[in-house]
Structure 1
């Protein structure tokens, strides 16, 4: 690598000697030059300049690079000027030739345009005449094939401009027309025979009439009918599912109403049963209370009667000593009879026996007072009433 240092002045880049040896000239229409040597010299100088390292202050470096730029630019300008001069000298003969050639071409084009115009006029007349013949042949063939009202549209679809060329014979044109008409009628018949909904068939026929592609139209019918069948199946499935749902809901509602009615009927029966039972129980309770009240009233009356007899006997016993006699035995028998009557009238088998007599009696087995006593039978629930009565009237009592 070359290193340049600027101390006092900037050394110019030496390219002048290379330019001094550059030569170029034109002889006999050929370029004579040592441009190859000049190119090699520039390549060497380029490598040298690109590998040069400039040192010093920024201003010094800029000055050295500026000088190198000026030398390279001068070299380029000299080479460009030489190229332009050679090109101009070489192109001068061509410019003269080009001028004469352009004038010649123009005259030829004018002649061609005139001739071509007359030719095209004659050819247009020929094509018009041939188109008329083609149409006549088409109308005949279309009628024969049964194209019908679509004949004009079909003619526009099948018409081939190459038929107008002189190379196309009427025989080949008639064959093409017949083939196209038969294909159309066959495709139309096929589409009309295919099972399809009216709107789908109508659309397929429109497609066929646009491009005469029967296969594409049939594929459209197939796909549309399949899609419609699938949609119909889905709708039927939805309807069936809806019917099943409604039926299930109705059944569930009926079952719920049945259960509700059964529960209400059961509740009504239960309420009626409870009412009847309550009325029966109330009636039984009323009868029971009435019976108890009547029994209690009879018992109270009997007890009053018995108490009166006991009181009378007690008063007699207080006046004279009690002695066994036929009369006393009679009283005891009467009291025993009363006792038996009371026991018979009792409504319960569970009775309480109470011995009644004078207060603080001598109850020894040999005492006459011990034999002067009355045994009273009554219901257990009347015990408190009997006890209170004995206590109030000073009547001795004890449970036996």
Structure 2
């Protein structure tokens, strides 16, 4: 009888269990759903065990991962932001997962699967993907008889009418995601044929519009370091419109009570334009075993179950990854504003699949800040950013 505990430890289930250290970026409110998914996965089978650790937001997690890759100690599974994925793939840090992706559910949205691909190969498993929304203060719009803007010209007009001595109509951010959303909505791209396109007509037109509104006093510019102030501008009625991912509102609502009704509208878009799919994917990192890669895919399949997807969408306002989940979301999408914003999934595409963009984007963000906060003419600022990016490319 004294041998029984030892024999139990040698059962096939105990010997076969594969551990997957997992670094993730899901904070409130989405962390609750992700943690429950991990718990139910670990308890529902004996082949794999997810060992999760929260490592901060997208940028913090990226910095930690790069340090771990240099020094050792990187996890097998990483929750990486979309623009980070192409670089991980290019440098051989992310493992291709196509051999493990057989017989996927047929109702998965193809464009969302493509968000995890680099040059046609699957390196990421979509976890949370969002589209942008135009947030607006419903109370202020009603008071001035304004309807939600449907074009960028209407955004400019609304910003002018909403501006007062103490408030601006729009708060804009000089971060690359926000600016890229505007460029894509005009039918443009920041990268063309693997090279920066910072002086293309759509990029110039996008910055000229923002510059015009700031110069007229109708918009307030905030840089990435001032992100919390941009949110505060909106919450304290110092600005009445702002652009953010669909996931921004649930995060704010989880942290504070809103003093006014918040409206959400689709991002204004020209006929040839698109909206960016942004968010994060699961990445299996170099050094992981085939069994760990299989475990990562098994966990992702568990996450894709329609009822779990529906709970994830309701909690986070990420897009459903499967059409089947929409049946569970009929009540959630009954709200017409919400339905119109989520319908942007039909014209959404990945916002960044170019490895070089992570090297160049600092130059663009510098140009945006110089133009919107220091008054430099858009064309001049963008030409300088283009020169700097091309100089790096030629090295």
TM-score (structure 2 length as normaliser): 0.16
TM-score, structure 1 normalization = 0.16
Q: Which has the larger radius of gyration?
A: 1
Bigger share in strand: 2
